[in-house]
Structure 1
Amino acid sequence: MRNLIVACAAAGSVAVLSGCAASGGLSKADKRFQRGEYETAIELYKADVAKGKEIAMANYKIGEAYRLSNRVEQAESYYKAALDGGVKNADAGFNYGLALKANGKFEEAAAQFQQYATNGTNRTLVARAEREAQNAQASTQLTAMRTNNEVTPLDQINTPSAEFSATIKPDTKELIFASGRDGKKYPGNGEGFNDLYAIKFDDAQKMTGGTVQSYEAVAMNPGAAAAPATPGSPTATPAKDSGKPLFNKANTHEASATYSPDGKMMIFARSNDGSKKGFLSVDLYASYFRGGTWTEPELVKGVNNSKADDFSPVLSPDGQTLYFASSRPGGQGGNDLYKATMGANNRFSAPENLGDQINTPGNENFPAVAPDGTLYFSSDGHPGLGKLDLFRVEKNGKVTNLGAPINSNGDDFAPYLTANDMGVFASNRAGGKGSDDLYMFRKKPLKLVTFYAEGKVVGVNGKTGTSAPLANETVDVLNSAGQKVQSVQTGADGSFKVKLDSSATYALVADRTGYFTARQGVSTVGRTPAQDQLPNEMNDISIPVNLTLTEIVKNKAIVVENIFYDYNKWDIRPDAAAELDKMVQTLVDNPEISIELSSHTDARGKDAFNQTLSQKRAQSAVDYIISKGIAKTRITAKGYGETKPVIKTAKTEEEHQKNRRTEFKVTKINAPAGTTN
């Protein structure tokens, strides 16, 4: 955002430019610098560097000229050269940090700001440096945040010159914006003076088609009969048909038009021509549509401050509150946001600062109000992605960065909300046509995800081990509290599919008399892909589930995997506890069975020792299971030592490990409750 006078992004610009009369002894570069003619000053200072003339200070002044014309990202190398050259300036280190931040070098910026906070001599900047260091550290996290928005350049409007500050005139639905595309160049940054322009889109929803016209031509030929003007300026008189421009003046900037709900009152920002002060200060002006024409713009009474720039006005949707930015004294620092309300006398009240939750020692500019009343604004004082970012004020007062792709490491500013989730903003990000360009943004329709558990129920013959799909088997879906929330029947091939909620945890259970209950946990928590990874508006995601019902055979040993003990010990380790918890669940799911839990050792060691150790290990496992609520009458412990090896001639460690095992077998099958044997 290079259009400093109307945009007023650079903190301290008024202080630097005020009192611009050139004093004796100043170089040509210094004189240009003091008059705010930064573009010419930069070239003159570069010539001084080439000649070896006061190199450190000349480099610093180049950096300052870029910063004060809001091109601080281009100042980085000059600030560094100045500091390396030993420049004597109390603010150099802080301003170097700003340049690093503007270029997205957040870790380097944080270190630079922290160094200035420790060693700097400008007390005001020392306090700000501490906050900037925190912001830069927070910005490293923001770079990874990407929101569900899409951004499209309005290329039928954009030119190599600046385009920014868009709004829609409510009665005619024209898009009004500022641009420096025509006229004399402003010496502060080498770009054109800003004027107001208008376009009537052929497709307003997509913002396509139409022809850009000077706002002057549109305003003076409204194409509609006069209507009662909005109250607010009883002394205003219609402009005389003098042939002179009414809104777009030569050698001044005009930008940031805003309208009353009926379109009959217009407030905008205009600079003076610099003939008296030596620089272009900015004030708010109002014009009213009366008698078929617009009145001569006049200063908005009671709102402007003679010692400051007042700019980027916006009216609330009901037209009763005027928000704007100002560099006036008494704020938090830099530019602050203010508001004034329409009083009973149809004049605005004294402006009120929006407070330190919104305003910072940096710059807050370009407020905007969505149709639902939500306040948006631009700032470089809150954690962001580089220079100015767009922010939203939440209902609880918290300020939220809108994130990429709306924000970038360039200036992203001047939002206008056409709906609660779409609108227009300006940016000088890479890839544009040049300077500031207008972009449309909208929240993409949220892509939806439906989760399913999908799989088969298979039955296994307990004696032969053969398996086959089970048709017409009931699968129960239990929630995290163990309550059944739905059931589904398997098809002829044993398959099933059941819908699940997102961010939920389930257990799928199949149960058949004479078989071990089959259970599998399923969770959809954290499984929803990112929006940019979803191919369709509606997306089905299946989670595979396989439920195996194994026939219960009495006295058939079943190995319990992954039950390990420390050497010569029988304590239940955490990894063994996790496996024994599965055994607990098996006993809960199959209340009709009683089991023997056995422990086996390998053949190494003495027989008696192995027998005692295996019995203690088996008993420890049983005690653990009983501690989880299983009746002790349903489970017994048995240590077999080395008497029942799986591999009788074990030689390798792997073979010995197979012999060191824990098993269980069903010793009794009780009749289900309510039945008889």
Structure 2
Amino acid sequence: MRFLLLFLLLPCCLLAQRKERLERAEREFAAGEYAAAIRTLQGTKGLTETDTDAGLLLAVSQFHANDLLAAEQGLLAIVERERDNFPLAWFYLGRIYHAQHQFPRAAVEYKRYLRSLTGDGPERRTVINLLRNTDNGIRAGFVSDQMVAENMGNRINTENDEFGPVPSPTGSGRLYFSLLRRDLASGQVQSDMVVSLADPAGWGPPAPVNPLLNTAAQETLLDFSPDGQKLYYYRGQDATDGRFLLDTFTTGGNQQLVTIAPDAPLSAALGDATPYFGAEDAIYFSSRRPGGFGGLDLYRMPRLPGGGYGPALNLGPNVNGPYDEICPFVAADGRTVYFSTNDPTYSVGGFDVVYTYRVEGVDNRFTLPTNAGLPLNSAGDDTHFRVAPDHFTGFLASDRKDGFGKRDLYIVYFVAPR
């Protein structure tokens, strides 16, 4: 009798264990811990094969962990087995093909998913925008043979978040950037400023810019002055609770670096972000200031002949729209402004690098943006684009799916100078 009772209870125990494992994987997924969710799901024998919700969660986790082949196989198995019962599988198949720049295949899956939606909610609008992205990608004009883009490799990039590359303005083989990583002692996510030096083997592993500059707060590298003698950075607890700072690498009597606020009236509390200080005539930045066109807009703060700055000027409706415009960079000609936007009018996916020209002879008027092309851009978020002093090399941050983790740094080689 005891053995019979055990036999009857065993299936119930297995079901309870599988339910607990699935709930645990869901929590890990919600926290962005995709590798942990994969381990949890695969560590429970038979769970993903017998529970389609678990199989779908595994495939989506694999997508976010950049294992596109495994994710595709899992999703195709779900579609074959369940037919139309799990339409979200179509959406993520579209995401996989989109990430691989298989734009026609992605469009087919997005349309299948779109037909499963009812009403006109934000989910439907998201899919429509993704279809606009794939349409942009299909156009032959986006593919350029005038550049080559490469991941900068595992000496620089990790499973953590690397972003904001700024090449040394003196052309000395130094690349400065910021990285986000979890502090092992406190468990808190820490943002620090680092530098990589070029050597015969490529770009070396990152080292702190200066031990006195990185603190327990969040520091993000922004820019250098053209002569390389001033470092601009942001220090704060988050994007709106902090200060824009300037450092000249001089020390006071207590051996602490002398850090001051830049004279430009930028305010994190107003939503100012990603400023570019390198243009001769103005500071360019993105902001959520009142009176814009929606989301983050680009602004220009003119430098005055006698010193100081004029009022911040919105770059206008040709550049700004209801989406986000961020990370401005002004080319050596002083007229070409590169920036990133997630406006599906111009993007092949996520944020793309685009460029606009300042109209000569007309104050604060800019042309409609043009996409900078593939492979500089991708189906992921491509931001923080900068051109090195040699005018033939560019750098950017991207979360494209061939990377090592979250955002990675990429290098772009151009045939013609930029």
Query: Under a length normalisation based on structure 1, what TM-score does the superposition of the two structures give?
Result: 0.43
> Which is further off, 164-173 or 124-133?
164-173
Q: Which has the higher contact order (CA 8 A, sep 6+)?
A: 2
Q: Give the 3 Å change call, closer, same or farther, for CA 411–186 of structure 1 in structure 2.
A: farther
Tell me, yes or no, if structure 1 residue 338 matches structure 2 residue 298.
Answer: yes
Q: Deviation string for 1:181-206 (max 9, x for gaps)?
A: 89649999xxx955322246689xxx
Give the Cα–Cα distance (whole angstroms) in 2 for the partners of residues 102 and 156 of structure 1. 21
Gaps of 5+ in 2: 1-21, 252-256, 359-365
Report what 1:292 is aligned to: 250
Contact 2:339 2:354 in 1 (8 A): yes
Tell me, yes or no, if structure 1 residue 147 matches structure 2 residue 107.
Answer: no
Give the Cα–Cα distance (whole angstroms) in 2 for the partners of residues 164 and 291 of structure 1. 23
Report what 1:321 is aligned to: 283
Give the Cα–Cα distance (whole angstroms) in 2 for the partners of residues 406 and 297 of structure 1. 36
Report what 2:356 is aligned to: 393
Contact 1:378 1:412 in 2 (8 A): yes
Report what 1:221 is aligned to: none
Q: CA RMSD in A?
A: 5.4
Output the amino acid matched with 1:139: G
Q: Give the 3 Å change call, closer, same or farther, for CA 304–354 of structure 1 in structure 2.
A: farther
Give the Cα–Cα distance (whole angstroms) in 1 for the partners of residues 146 and 127 of structure 2. 33
Q: Deviation string for 1:50-84 (max 9, x for gaps)?
A: 425993433444566567x6859575556666666
Contact 1:101 1:109 in 2 (8 A): yes
Give the Cα–Cα distance (whole angstroms) in 1 for the partners of residues 313 and 102 of structure 2. 37
Matches within 5 A, 1:526-605: none
Gaps of 5+ in 1: 1-25, 218-244, 273-279, 446-677
SS across alignment from 2:413 = strand
Report what 2:4 is aligned to: none
Percent identical pairs in the alignment equals: 20
Q: Deviation string for 1:353-373 (max 9, x for gaps)?
A: 865755575x65543221223
Matches within 5 A, 1:88-127: 94=91, 96-121=93-118, 123-127=121-125
Give the Cα–Cα distance (whole angstroms) in 2 for the partners of residues 315 and 359 of structure 1. 23
SS across alignment from 2:134 = helix
Larger radius of gyration: 1
Report what 1:213 is aligned to: 207
Output the amino acid matched with 2:105: E
Quote how far apart the aligned CAs of 1:127 are.
Answer: 3.2
Matches within 5 A, 1:24-423: 27-47=23-43, 50-52=46-48, 55-62=51-58, 71=66, 85=82, 94=91, 96-121=93-118, 123-142=121-140, 145-151=143-149, 158-160=156-158, 163-170=162-169, 174-179=174-179, 184=184, 195-199=192-196, 213-217=207-211, 245-247=212-214, 249=216, 254-261=219-226, 266-268=231-233, 272=237, 285-289=243-247, 292-293=250-251, 294-295=257-258, 303-304=267-268, 312-318=274-280, 320-324=282-286, 336-339=296-299, 341=301, 352=314, 355=317, 365-372=326-333, 373-379=335-341, 381-382=344-345, 389-394=352-357, 397-407=367-377, 412-418=382-388, 421-423=391-393
Q: Give the 3 Å change call, closer, same or farther, for CA 53–440 of structure 1 in structure 2.
A: closer
Report what 2:3 is aligned to: none
- Paired positions, count: 373
Contact 2:336 2:356 in 1 (8 A): yes
Give the Cα–Cα distance (whole angstroms) in 2 for the partners of residues 348 and 55 of structure 1. 62
Quote how far apart the aligned CAs of 1:136 are.
Answer: 1.3
Matches within 5 A, 1:666-677: none
Contact 2:155 2:203 in 1 (8 A): no
Give the Cα–Cα distance (whole angstroms) in 1 for the partners of residues 273 and 68 of structure 2. 24
Give the Cα–Cα distance (whole angstroms) in 1 for the partners of residues 213 and 300 of structure 2. 26
Q: Give the 3 Å change call, closer, same or farther, for CA 437–265 of structure 1 in structure 2.
A: closer
Give the Cα–Cα distance (whole angstroms) in 1 for the partners of residues 313 and 92 of structure 2. 31
Output the amino acid matched with 1:406: L
Quote how far apart the aligned CAs of 1:416 are.
Answer: 0.5
The structure where helix makes up a greater share of residues is 2
Give the Cα–Cα distance (whole angstroms) in 2 for the partners of residues 186 and 351 of structure 1. 42
Query: Under a length normalisation based on structure 2, what TM-score does the superposition of the two structures give?
Result: 0.63
SS across alignment from 2:376 = coil
Q: Give the 3 Å change call, closer, same or farther, for CA 85–399 of structure 1 in structure 2.
A: farther
> Which is further off, 315-324 or 179-188?
179-188
Give the Cα–Cα distance (whole angstroms) in 1 for the partners of residues 30 and 48 of structure 2. 22
